[in-house]
Amino acid sequence: MAMPKSVFSKDYQIAIKRLKEARLEAGLTQAEVAKKIGKPQSYISKIECGERRVDIAELKILARVYRKSLSFFI
């Protein structure tokens, strides 16, 4: 039996939910976050809807922008 892709795992879905929550708590739009990190708005949108996976380096950058610890997301 094949394991499901991690992007669809419960843990990953929780991380995505927390990324969006952190952005909203920081009072930032997707466009504002994207500008801060030098990416297009669609980059943030795809992360938040699960179309794009986030690696640890990207997560560290987003955590810094949102003023959250890495442990908040995992």
User: Does the residue 1 lie in any domain?
Assistant: no
Tell me the average pLDDT across 37-61.
Answer: 95
pTM: 0.84
Q: How many domains does the chain have?
A: 1
CA 21, chain centre distance (Å): 9
Per-residue pLDDT band for 74 (boundaries 50, 70, 90) equals confident
- What domain range includes position 64? 6-73
- DSSP labels, 4-73: PPGGGSHHHHHHHHHHHHHHHHTT--HHHHHHHHT--HHHHHHHHTTSS---HHHHHHHHHHHT--HHHH
Q: What is the pLDDT of residues 19-28, one digit of tens each?
A: 999 999 999 9
Distance separating alpha carbons of residues 8 and 69, to the nearest angstrom: 23
Which domain CATH number covers 15? 1.10.260.40
